[in-house]
Structure 1
Amino acid sequence: MSQVNKSAIHCINPDCLRPYPQPWGNKFCNSCGANLQLLERYVPLQTLGSGGFAQIYTVWDTIAQTEKVLKVLIEDSPKALELFVQEAEILCNLEHPGVPIVDICGHFQVEFSHPKPRKLPCLVMEKIHGLTLEEIQKHYPQGCPQVLVLNWLLQAIDILNHLHSRKIIHRDIKPSNIMLRTGAFSRGAVRGDQLVLIDFGGVKQVSSALLRFPSRSTRLFSSGYSPPEQLTGANVGPQADFYALGRTMVELLTGKNPADLEDPVTGELRWRHLVDVKPKLGDLLDEMVKYDARSRPASATVIQKRLASISQAAPAISLFSQVGQNVQKKFTQITHQVNNTASPLSNFWQRLKGTSVQITTAFAQATSQTVLFTVKTFINTILACLSTTWAMLLAAIGACIGTIVGLLLANNTIWGKQLSVYIANQLPGVLNNTSNVSGSEIISFAVAGLGTSWALTISGAFGQRRRYFIALITSIIGYGLGWVVLASISVPTANLAYSVTAEGLMGLILIAVSLLTLGLGLRSHNIVHALTSAFGTALTFALLINLGILSPSLFNFLLSTEASQLAPKVIFFSLLGIFNSFYLALSHYLVVPWLKLLGWK
């Protein structure tokens, strides 16, 4: 426990004139003289608020060395005392992770003599560290995701099933009385946080007979959540909890208070048009919030079964899901008519009917599945083509800009010229003939690679993690090394520094494309993506050369420092970016999925 929490103690005497702060370590209040260490164990630290007829405090358990919650009844009416004692007794007998745990010695009384004699019933229970659903909803002003709400509803119904099986009705379910047992809520994530139902101050325990035929009870309600029968003090049964829970879930889905969704005439909720929700889930919630308790689900078990079918990963909805049923229905009608008019042929007709129904059902299912698969494949193909086209376009633009900027930086800036001279001085150790070599070429190559990788990263295609810095570094290194390989394998000539060879061109492409691809931050199978894109791009250029469409000598501009060669360089690096993007798409959408299907994770 931190020193901040131990800085002061709070006196729980309602009549104390100065209850806080009391010095840490004091056993008695400096203002009213009340005992500050309850049962010589619990030290009140601060108030958490008030609930009903009680005051809530955070206390420090000196034995367990942890924070807990203390509930103190400050109302002295007999009914308030009855409800408080009932809550304590019920909580002490409940064993469920969705219900706060009460200490073994957590139910006791504290006596005060000043300024007037009085006894205060106390209840100590575990402190739930987390947020209420009311607080979580503030993260979703337009409504919480359906998957979260469904998870919460499943847990809440499990808690209610536990309570109702012990003849206990909560009667005060609302977002502020439901918490998640967690330190911090992760927005948008589907987590396994334990739901906890709190504030059992309005709980009611009934007999088995009263669960079937609910009796009249003390009027207790929360506006917007309590059912009509509870507002009027009429018969209250388990359906009252279903009503309140249903309205709570509707509020979480829509982000609107249930009172604002009520039809002014009928009182029914009008909410389905505000949110896209599973039809079965929407129907269930509508039944839970029915005005008439008899129209609501009969028990928590019934709701659990319906939720189980809703939460299961159901197959995609078929466009022709009703074909089989409709055909069978019509076939049954015809069968009935034939049986009434041709009874001697009934046995033969029954066999024919069974076979026909099976064939019809199988045909309907196969047809619907084929249509679904075709539509889904078509849509995915369109999206993949659009994503690939976008990546190819950006890669071409990035390569074009990078090539132009690289030449300008290398030939028209002081630091670019200095770097070119430095690189040229280092090349003799790598290349055999450096008499006509300028370091500006390797700079232009590096910046062209930088522009290409930046554009591909911006596109966000192929499931990459957008690692801008790493992509830039690997592309600079890849294109720079590619130029070195191109120059080292090329043939020296009298007029040019080098004459480009097919081998040198292939080496440039393989190194530049593979290193650039490795730096993109693809989520898996990075080596496969790199090899596919590098060899695919290289083989495309090789095919064009073998077909006579291109000649290696046409690429001599890559080793030329003349400004007139800018346009061919722009075209080459743009094509390099386009082919790289195309083969990345091929790898992402075809090669890697097949490898995963074969078990290569």
Structure 2
Amino acid sequence: MVNRSSGVHCINPDCQRPYPQPWGNKFCNSCGAVLKLLDRYVPLQTLGAGGFAQIYTVLDEKTQTEKVLKVLIEDSPKALELFTQEAEVLVRLRHPGVPKVEADGHFQVNLTNPKPHQLPCLVMEKINGPTLEEILNKYPQGCPEDMVVNWLNQAVKILQELHKHQIIHRDIKPSNLMLRTPSPSLITSQGGTGWEQLVLIDFGGAKQVNIGRQRQESSSTRLFSSGYSPPEQVTGGHIGPSADFYALGRTMIELLTGRYPSDLEDPQTGVLRWRNRVNIKPQLADLLDEMVQEDVRSRPANATIIQKRLAKIHQPASGQNSLQQALTQITHQLGLLGQATDQAFSNLGQTLGKILRWILQTIFQIIKACSLTIWAMLLTGLGASAGTVTGYILAYQTNLGDRLSEFLTTQLPGLILNPEAGFGAEIIVFATAGIGTAWGLTASGSFAQRRRFLVAFLMGIISYGFGWLLWQVITSTTSSGEGLVGATAIAIFLLALSMGFRSHHIVYAMIGSFGTAIIVAILVVLGFPANLSQASTPHIWSELPLSITFFSSIGILMSFWLGISYYVIVPGLRFLGWR
């Protein structure tokens, strides 16, 4: 029941004595403004201010329920546009995860004091419950994983409804997500159980877009929340559903870690370093990392994709973990060990604790970098070996090599300078070795690359094929060893250039090619045979171990130098200002 003795609140922002006004008065005793809005809503008390608006609790005498009144106190055209846009969005939406607004909930009140003007108002459903920001205050080390996954599930369903209506929220963060509970008296001391209905509030920054024609839209107003909004929103560029997924991903990471997202950013790359702070399912961590990618194209395209990923996360594990997952788990455990060690030595002083933590974090980063680089070297070496064996089978157990030689000799007579017998088989061996190398590097997923298997497949053929051709050209004028070094350099350069690295592509290509070529040159000087696959047919299989050793070594060396580039050289260039 409403305490009618507490009085009524005047909503005129220029009123000198807005509260309390006697219950039952139709007009304010101080400024003369109407008190009972639409002859239905009675303002009871202020709830605070949000953006350009003042928020009140009002009594709806028609339904005898409390609601929320939002009053626009800023008179700029842009503020009025955003306020009207929020009202139109909420009137149109009907979802339990969005505050309900009736068709007549948006109206204007005429005021005469201090001058005649209109005051835009919006009445919406009152959500009884805490925000996720308030709940996070009860969990300074981060909320439990099952609670966060439940909130993420509900939030994605809300966004799916918004995006279906071509609406982008643009301001998702813990303070704009609430838990609907039956009444304030039922809220527990922890601020809720985590299983109540999640509600997304504050649609003042919502934007109506044509998602299907997003690239033709004009750029967005620069309205953003620091720490949560994606780069394209901060710069006022084109935005789409992935902008909401980015903000939601950062919000969930904050709820899991208890740390503000900006505090988790790597000072050199801007990437969030958070996975060693929590012990959660690697699949969930991978999903959140994809949601907060700076590149729009690397984020999930729609809410359905995220829902399917979450459904798989809830399925029981298959029992067989890949080596990469095992390495990730080891890294997580090392992170937990680092936190425990940090706590144990905290009594030695804040300065000593910070130094120790920095040392441990550095060690953990080195271990992680070495583990992922070794994983890439292993897969790349295996892929190159498998590709070489496959190439030998295709080249020398079938007539593909002879047919390729005949085709190149007749159709492209000027391409091969010294058309010796069996050169078609050599091309097949090089091409399949290139495919295997490219597949292994792409499958490893290391070095933050986009896993583009089709591009890797094609560039494996092109890069190693071109390398073979360069080898023939150089060998025609100089020694076979120099030709092998040159072929290695150009093949690795082209292949690395085509990998889906996030930035600094030319750096990866140059370091990978030159580093690998230098080691090959040293091996040639030390006596490594430089006449691969040039034995006579009866003895060709005796050359297979040598070819496997060569191509797998090239793949391993390439992965090693790409790891050096990713973990040492590129961060150094970023530190020096090359973005």
TM-score bin, normalised by smaller chain:
0.5 to 0.7
- Shift of the 317–205 alpha-carbon distance from structure 1 to 2, 3 Å rule, reads same
Give how far 1:132 is off: 0.3
Matched position secondary structure for 2:106: strand
Whether contact under 8 Å (1:147, 1:190) holds in the other structure is: no
Q: Deviations over 1:324-364 (max 9, x none)?
A: xx9x99999989976877689xxxxxxxxxxxxxxxxxxxx
Moved more, 139-148 or 211-220: 211-220
- How many residues align structurally? 340
Q: Which residue of 2 aligns with 1:97?
A: 96
- Shift of the 214–251 alpha-carbon distance from structure 1 to 2, 3 Å rule, reads farther
Distance 2:236 2:139 in 1: 34
Which amino acid letter does the alignment assign opposite residue 293 of structure 2?
K
Distance 1:79 1:207 in 2: 21
Distance 2:230 2:22 in 1: 47
Query: Pairwise mapping of residues 333-344 of structure 1 onto structure 2 (< 5 A)?
Result: none
Q: Which residue of 2 aligns with 1:199?
A: 202
Distance 2:254 2:90 in 1: 28
Whether contact under 8 Å (1:215, 1:236) holds in the other structure is: no
Distance 2:52 2:244 in 1: 21
Whether contact under 8 Å (1:6, 1:45) holds in the other structure is: no
Q: Deviations over 1:359-402 (max 9, x none)?
A: xxxxxxxxxxxxxxxxxxxxxxxxxxxxxxxxxxxxxxxxxxxx
Query: Pairwise mapping of residues 156-555 of structure 1 onto structure 2 (< 5 A)?
Result: 156-182=155-181, 183=183, 184-185=187-188, 187=190, 191-211=194-214, 215-316=218-319
Whether contact under 8 Å (1:27, 1:37) holds in the other structure is: yes
Distance 2:255 2:324 in 1: 31
Distance 1:322 1:272 in 2: 13
Matched position secondary structure for 1:103: coil
- Shift of the 335–290 alpha-carbon distance from structure 1 to 2, 3 Å rule, reads closer
Distance 1:52 1:188 in 2: 25
Distance 1:139 1:82 in 2: 37
Whether contact under 8 Å (2:15, 2:31) holds in the other structure is: yes
Matched position secondary structure for 2:103: strand
TM-score when scaled to structure 2? 0.55
Give how far 1:313 is off: 3.9
- Shift of the 54–190 alpha-carbon distance from structure 1 to 2, 3 Å rule, reads closer
Give how far 1:6 is off: 5.4
- Shift of the 298–13 alpha-carbon distance from structure 1 to 2, 3 Å rule, reads same
Give how far 1:255 is off: 0.4
Q: Deviations over 1:64-93 (max 9, x none)?
A: 000001111111111111111111111111
Q: Which residue of 2 aligns with 1:31?
A: 30
- Shift of the 321–304 alpha-carbon distance from structure 1 to 2, 3 Å rule, reads same
Distance 2:296 2:216 in 1: 12
- Shift of the 147–213 alpha-carbon distance from structure 1 to 2, 3 Å rule, reads farther
Distance 1:338 1:185 in 2: 69
Distance 2:174 2:152 in 1: 12
Whether contact under 8 Å (1:132, 1:180) holds in the other structure is: yes
Q: Which residue of 1 aligns with 2:493?
A: none
Distance 1:116 1:188 in 2: 44
Identity of aligned residues (%): 66
Distance 1:296 1:52 in 2: 29
Distance 2:325 2:228 in 1: 38
Which amino acid letter does the alignment assign opposite residue 62 of structure 2?
I
- Shift of the 6–148 alpha-carbon distance from structure 1 to 2, 3 Å rule, reads farther
Whether contact under 8 Å (2:108, 2:119) holds in the other structure is: yes
Matched position secondary structure for 1:22: coil
Q: Which residue of 1 aligns with 2:497?
A: none
Distance 2:21 2:316 in 1: 56
Matched position secondary structure for 2:47: strand
Q: Are 1:16 and 2:19 counterparts?
A: no
Distance 1:264 1:185 in 2: 39
Give how far 1:304 is off: 1.5
Structure with greater Cα Rg: 1
Whether contact under 8 Å (2:211, 2:240) holds in the other structure is: no
Matched position secondary structure for 2:110: strand
How much is the aligned-residue C-alpha RMSD, in angstroms?
A: 2.8
TM-score when scaled to structure 1? 0.53
5+ residue gaps, structure 1 = 345-601
